[in-house]
Amino acid sequence: MVNYPHQLKGKKANPTPFKTKKSTVDFANRGMSFEAAINATNDYYLSRGIAVIHKKPTPIQIVKVDYPKRSRAKIVEAYFRQASTTDYSGVYKGLYIDFEAKETRQKTAMPMKNFHLHQIEHMASVLDQKGICFVLLHFSTLKETYYLPAKALIDFFQIDKGNKSMPLDYIKKNGYEIIQGAFPQVPYLDIIEQNFLGGDYN
């Protein structure tokens, strides 16, 4: 049984009025990928002393190594291994932050094939330790980005072990839309502050 942290229990707080407006800023229009926009956001938080959050390196399996010189090794063949946990982790106001980021071109659902059982189990473990865990879901065709608490993802995954796509309606009901900005591009800490911590990082 997963004991979820108190921050993720209960009903969602009412969104603040300024969040009801659509933003005209879109990182894709500036040639940025979703991942690049998240990385730029994390750089913004770091440079201003707001949070320290980094992308975890993808494990690499080395297949072949050449030694052109005795003192030098050269990797000539390698491949990326499946990530064992989530994409990003760090600390904010003394709280452990852990999240995954997924993107789709679909308009009505997020494919659950993008999530693996070991990632779900990792998220559940983070929640057991009272960490703040979530997923950032970007619908590139719609130009919409959502913050979905890990609890909502885990609950949906447990329905059929991730075989179904997660409807956008479910994401809207259980998550929060992130209004894209100029700086930072994907201000996900706003969601954490307004709905779980009840404060402001500024």
- The response to whether 121 counts as a known ligand-binding position is no
Mean pLDDT by 10 residues, the chain (202 residues): 42 39 49 88 97 79 67 64 79 97 96 91 96 97 97 93 90 96 92 84 57
pLDDT, residue 1, reads 46
pLDDT, residue 73, reads 74
Residue 74 lies in a domain: no
Residue 13 lies in a domain: yes
pLDDT, residue 23, reads 44
Residue 79 lies in a domain: no
CATH number of the domain where residue 179 is located: 3.40.1350.10
- The response to whether 119 counts as a known ligand-binding position is yes
Give the C-alpha distances (Å, rounded to integers) separating 32 from 21, 26, 29, 35, 47. Answer: 23, 9, 7, 8, 20
Residue 179 lies in a domain: yes
- The response to whether 190 counts as a known ligand-binding position is no
Number of domains in the chain: 1
| Amino acid type, 93 | K
Looking at residue 198, what DSSP letter applies? -
**Summary mean pLDDT of the chain:** 81
pLDDT, residue 4, reads 43
Residue 174 lies in a domain: yes
Residue 76 lies in a domain: no
| Domain extent for 18 | 6-57+84-197
Residue 128 lies in a domain: yes
